[in-house]
Each structure stands twice: as structure tokens, then as C-alpha cells.
Amino acid sequence: MKTAITDMFGIEHPIIQGGMHYVGFAEMASAVSNAGGLGIITALTLGTPEKLANEIARCKDMTDRPFGVNLTFLPTVNAPDYPGLVKAIIDGGVKAVETAGNNPQQVLPYLKDAGISVIHKCTSVRHALKAQSIGCDAVSVDGFECGGHPGEDDIPNMILLPRAADELEIPFVSSGGMADGRSLVASLAMGAQGMNMGTRFIATKEAPVHENVKQAIVAASELDTRLVMRPLRNTERVMTNAAVEEVLRIEREKGADLQFEDIVEQVAGVYPRIMTEGDMDAGAWSCGMVAGLIHDIPTCKELVDRIMSEADAILARMNSLASA
């Protein structure tokens, strides 16, 4: 299947693995790339330019296919060494970068001069148009269903994707609720040139997370995520657990007086305990509503091949209906 996204990133299938905290290591990115998609290393999980450079080198040892790096720009007092991380990406010969969070305009000239294609994650059409105007090559349009930060507009993909198609000139991929061939064909029908999957890729053999995390996703339904930090206008969709329910209790109790410090124990610095140690009640961790569509833990190749086979079958069926 050829689309503007497969051409842009030099990949076989229009499937991208989004950057995920404590998931986007070389093992994950290389497995997705070897399956024909675009794997993504998460820069801020590595933290330093030196560690990112080593992870890029490790990934190159594990795949000879294109892969990318996620670079998320956070509003923080102690900012990461962004210039150093950008240099590590460029020096590592990476040709795809997924930016997220705040406006990436400050680093675009360096990335573009190095021949790197940039896809920016957006949760609204207005943000996607801004990304287009500053020179991003593509955008990932994240609907309200997505795990992590869905923004504050609460627009699901059945509306958001066609709206993006109506407004954008650059290509975009769908993100949020994506799991199978149905997801891909629906995304294409609504104007996307591919799809981005996060939660679905965590539940794969190669995902470098504790087995408890994978089993929690398989066991969950579409009703098992919660929105936290909404009063702080930093909404995050997470898998429900004891810590998350405690966050929601505190949010109700504090009301308009809620401060980040009130919930810091449950939402900050918890990923190593969850993703690495498998302590599923340690705190809040990002997970999409798509968990309700995830029922197994295949290899990345099995998953991608299955998605493309399903998509081909759906498209053939639709063509037969059209010609009937």
C-alpha cells in the first residue's frame, strides 16, 4: 500500500509506532521498522544526548530500515538538553522525527537542513494548521480516544479526521483508537494517509515492558481508562488502577484549589516502577480506549501483516460493493 506517508518516510506500510515513555526503546522501534512500519525511539525516556546517541546506534544494529525519534517539548523549569538531543538525532543519521508537546519551531531549521522529515502530533485542527504553517512535513492527528494527552477539545476521530482533511494541505496520519485493518481503512476513508498506534504496540512480544503491562491491556475493556489532570488543563488518558482512582478522589476533593503537588506522588516519576517492574498500581500510565480492541500479544510482524491483510480484504469487499 503506497501513500504520501510511505513515500515520505520510505516505509512499506502506512503504520507508525508513536513515541511512548519507557516503551520507545531500540527493541520496540526496530521491531516495528522490521515489520514494515516506522518505529520510533522516545528521546526524553533516554534523557541525555549521550544515551539517545547510544540508543540510535543500538537500533541501527537491529534494523536496516528507516526509524524515527520522538522529541517532546515540555513546559518545564529544568528543560532537557534539547540542542544536544537534536544534535544526537542529526549525527545519528535519523531521517524521521516525531515532535510533540509545545511548538517545535525552534528546532525545525536544524532538522530540515539535515534532510529530516518532521511529523508533529496535534489534537486539534488549529494546531495542525499551525504545524503546517511553520514547516512540518506531516502531522499526526490525535483524537479524544487516544492514550496520553488528548488535548482539551474532546473531539473524537470520526469528526476530527475529516475536519483535518478539509483544512490541511500536508499529509496526516490518524492517532487514537487505532488497532487493526478496520482502523486503517477507516482512516484512509476520512482523508488520512496512514495511522499511528501506541497502545496496540505495547501489547506485542517485542515491546520492552513488563508482562503485567501487556496483560493489563489485554484484560481491559474500552471502559477502563480515565481522564486525570483535567482541572489543571493537562488532561491525560490513563489506565484505571488504585493510584488513578486516588488521583480522581483528590481532584474532586480539592476542586478549583487543586495543585499539581497534590497529585505528584501518583503521576510523576512512576513509569519505571510500572513499565519495568510491573507494579500496576504504582501510578498513572497512558493507555488508550483502544484497549477494548486488543485481545492478544502478537509479534510486531504478525500484527502489521494482519492489519494489512485485513485492510486488503476490506478494500476488496468495498470495491465489490461499489461495482455491484
Q: Is 195 left (phi over 0), alpha (psi -120 to 50) or beta?
A: beta
**Any residues with CB less than 8 A from the CB of 122 and at least 6 apart, and which?**
128, 131, 139, 140, 141, 142
Reduce the DSSP state of residue 147 to 3 states and report it.
coil
Q: What pTM, to 2 d.p., does this model score? A: 0.96
Q: Confidence class of residue 201 from pLDDT cuts 50, 70 and 90? A: very high
Buried b (16+ CB within 10 A) or exposed e, 74-91: eeeeeebebeebbbbbbe
Q: Confidence class of residue 78 from pLDDT cuts 50, 70 and 90? A: confident
Q: Looking at residue 52, what is its pLDDT? A: 98
> What mean pLDDT is predicted for residues 139-144?
98
State the Cα–Cα distance between residues 134 and 111, nearest whole angstrom.
Answer: 13
Q: Looking at residue 322, what is its pLDDT? A: 87
Q: Which domains does the chain have, with CATH numbers?
A: 4-209+300-323 (3.20.20.70), 221-286 (no CATH)
**Any residues with CB less than 8 A from the CB of 153 and at least 6 apart, and which?**
123, 124, 144
Q: Confidence class of residue 77 from pLDDT cuts 50, 70 and 90? A: low
Q: Looking at residue 283, what is its pLDDT? A: 98
> What mean pLDDT is predicted for residues 6-27?
98
> Amino acid letter at 154?
D
| Cα 215–Cα 219–Cα 224 angle in degrees, nearest 5 | 120
State the Cα–Cα distance between residues 115 and 93, nearest whole angstrom.
Answer: 9
Instruction: Tell me whether residue 62 is exposed, middle or buried, using C-beta atoms within 10 angstroms of its C-beta: 0 to 12, 13 to 18, 19 or more.
Output: middle
